[in-house]
Amino acid sequence: MPKLIALFSTLLTLCLWDLAHAQADNMGAENDKVHVSTIADVSAIQAGKPFWVGFKFTIDPGWHIYWTNPGTSGLATQVKLTLPEGFTAGELQFPIPQRLVHPGDEVNYAYENEVVLLMQITPPKNLPVGKSEKIDGRATWLVCKEDCMPGSGSVSIELPVADSAKPANEDLFKEWTAKLPVENEAEYIASYKTQSSIKDGNGNASIKITWKKIPGDIQFIPGAMETGDLSDVKIAADGNDSTITFNIKNKADLTPITGLVTFTKPDGTKSALVVGILLGGRVTAPTLPK
């Protein structure tokens, strides 16, 4: 029953989503629980040289916005940009989310208080010096406490084009870059492999990690899935090995399952390894750098 209520709540929110966006576009405003600003890691744009843009969300205490997989209910935070001619943008990068557990065993993957989402921008190589370039866009989110409110706000930054540039906002970018999930964590992980078995959309999968150093609070956060559900996630320890297992239900395709294996280091900082699980019984054993 809690899952049905959560599903109904999410569908109702989706119905209101477009209306909220239209109202926000007309007002050019954010809702009063979330405010978003745009920053860059450089003082100027250099032709052909990539730089990073950060979208800083400031969230009222007690409220939260969502990761790419919101969990039991919710909607992923998005940023869509309009770029100058010849510019390209990478994928939006999300820091490690918090795991919020609610009554009824409902789980959300979300951010409280503040989060900076990152995106790499690459300008064209033939960009003339002496002009300015403006990047515009819009961020959309669902912010929740006991109730939920959809919101959106404009994101925009204008930078001069120059032959040279100085770093900007160094401390902020250093802090939030360090909170991004990584594809290897050589200091802690010796190796890992994944395995799956699935038939007619149902089955199971496992992730086995061998640790160089055994960390604390090991968790698995599943990535967003277009079809299917994961359930009965279990983590078992055996010496330097941790094995994560879960069931797969109603998976209508064989696209890989992605997720994060999160853990806490002795100094209290969180880290997360990005994992991908191929389906159809295949085994993957990535080689990690030493």
Give residue-wise pLDDT tens across range 254-276: 889 999 999 999 999 999 999 99
What span, in angstroms and rounded, lies between the C-alpha atoms of 95 and 111? 9
Residues 6+ apart with CB under 8 A from 105: 2
Residue that terminates a domain, selected from 111, 142, 177: 177
153, 161, 149: which is closest to 137 by C-alpha? Answer: 153
CATH code of residue 160: 2.60.40.1250
What span, in angstroms and rounded, lies between the C-alpha atoms of 128 and 115? 34
Residues 168 and 203 placed together within one structural domain of the fold: no
pLDDT at 206 over 80: yes
Segment 275-289 shows an average pLDDT of 61
Q: What is the pLDDT of residue 20?
A: 41
Note the Cα 51 to chain centre separation in Å.
19
Position 183 in a domain? no
pLDDT at 183 over 60: yes
Position 263 in a domain? yes
108, 111, 110: which is closest to 71 by C-alpha? Answer: 108
Which contiguous run of DSSP H or E holds residue 13? helix 2-27
Which contiguous run of DSSP H or E holds residue 15? helix 2-27
Residues 44 and 97 placed together within one structural domain of the fold: yes
pLDDT at 70 over 60: yes
Q: What is the pLDDT of residue 30?
A: 60
pLDDT at 68 over 60: yes
Residues 133 and 237 placed together within one structural domain of the fold: no
Total-model pTM? 0.86
Position 37 in a domain? yes
Position 151 in a domain? yes
Residues 133 and 19 placed together within one structural domain of the fold: yes
Segment 34-57 shows an average pLDDT of 97
Give residue-wise pLDDT tens across range 210-232: 999 999 999 999 999 888 889 99
- Phi/psi of residue 286, nearest 5 degrees: -60, 150
Position 100 in a domain? yes
Higher pLDDT, 17 or 150: 150
Residues 145 and 56 placed together within one structural domain of the fold: yes
Residues 116 and 211 placed together within one structural domain of the fold: no
Tell me how far CA of residue 272 lies from CA of 46, 71, 80, 141, in angstroms.
32, 17, 25, 23
Asked if residues 220 and 246 have their Cβ atoms less than 8 Å apart, the reply is yes
The mean of the pLDDT values for the chain is 87
Residues 155 and 14 placed together within one structural domain of the fold: yes
What span, in angstroms and rounded, lies between the C-alpha atoms of 243 and 257? 16
Residue that terminates a domain, selected from 123, 142, 177: 177
Position 143 in a domain? yes
Residue that terminates a domain, selected from 130, 154, 177: 177
Segment 135-157 shows an average pLDDT of 95
Q: Please spell the DSSP secondary structure of 49-78, one letter per residue.
A: --EEEEEEEEE-TT-EEEEEEEESS----E
Which range of residues forms the domain containing residue 249? 189-284
Residues 234 and 104 placed together within one structural domain of the fold: no
What span, in angstroms and rounded, lies between the C-alpha atoms of 125 and 139? 28
Give the total number of structural domains in the chain. Answer: 2
